[in-house]
Amino acid sequence: MTRNPNMREAILSAAEILFSTKGFNAVSIRDIALEAGANAGSVTYHFKSKDGLLLEIYKRHCGPMNKRRIELLVAAKRVRDVQDRLEAIVRAYVQPAFSSSSDLAGGGARFTRLRAVMSAEGNAVVGRIIAEIFDDTTNAFIEAIEQSLPHLPRKTLVWRSQFLLGALYYTLVNPERVTRLSRGEADGADMAEAIEQLVSATVASLQAPDVNHFPGSQPASAAAAPAKAVNRKNARTDSSTK
C-alpha cells in the first residue's frame, strides 16, 4: 500500500474499521499497520499501544457527542412541565447519537457497531475505556431522570437506561431491518422518525410501574417459593402412587 501523508488519521481509520468488524482481541498492531499502509512502529509511536489507540477512537467520536448531550440536558432540565421535561431529557441523550453520524469519516453507524462489538467481548480494557468516556455523562442523565420520576428506584431507572442504549445501538447499526419488516411503510434510514420513535418508546418504558411494586406483587424469589413447594408436593404424590 502507498503511505498516507496523514499517517495518524490513517491509523485511526484503519483501527476503527478492523475493531468494528473483527473485535479488539482478534486485531493486532501489525494488522492495523497493514490496513493503514504504515509500519508497526508508526502505530506505537502515535498511540503507544493498542489500548491507547482504542481510547483515542472513543475520544474523537464521543467527546463532541457527550458535550452536546450535556448542553441539551442543561436546557431540558429547565422545562417546567414534568412530562415535557422527561421527553426533553431523553431526546437530549438520543439526538446527538444520530446527528454525530456524519461528523467523521465512516459515520456513526460504524462506530456504533464498534461499540456493540467491544461491549460483547467483555474485555477489561474496553470496560475501563467505556467507564472513562461515558460514566459521568450517563450518571448526569440518570440523575435528571430520577428528578422527573422520584417514585421509581434508581436501580430500575438504570435498567431502563441500559435498554435505551441497546435500542440506540441497534437502530443505528441495522436501520434496513425496520424498512424490511414494515414492508416499506417505514424508512429505517429516516433519522428524524427514528429519534421520535425511540424517544416515545423510552419515555413510556421509563414511566412504567416498577416490576417489584405492582399492586399485590411480590419479589420473584418469593413468588417462586410456592411454586417450588407445589412441585415438591406433586413429586411426593407421584412417587407414592408408583
160 to 85, 138, 202: CA distances (angstroms): 17, 12, 8
Q: What is the pTM of this model?
A: 0.77
Instruction: Dump pLDDT digits (tens) for 142-174.
Output: 999 999 999 999 999 999 999 999 899 888 888
- Phi and psi based region of residue 133 (left: phi greater than 0; alpha: psi -120 to 50; beta: remaining): alpha
Instruction: Dump pLDDT digits (tens) for 183-200.
Output: 999 999 999 999 999 999
The lowest-confidence range among 116-120, 122-126, 172-176, 212-216 is 212-216
Predicted local distance difference test score (pLDDT) of residue 214: 59
Between CA 80 and CA 89 the distance in angstroms is 12
Predicted local distance difference test score (pLDDT) of residue 44: 94
Residue 87 CB contacts under 8 Å (≥ 6 apart), including other chains? 199, 203
- Could you tell me the pLDDT band of residue 232, with boundaries at 50, 70 and 90? low
Does the structure show a pLDDT above 80 at 231? no
Between CA 217 and CA 52 the distance in angstroms is 49
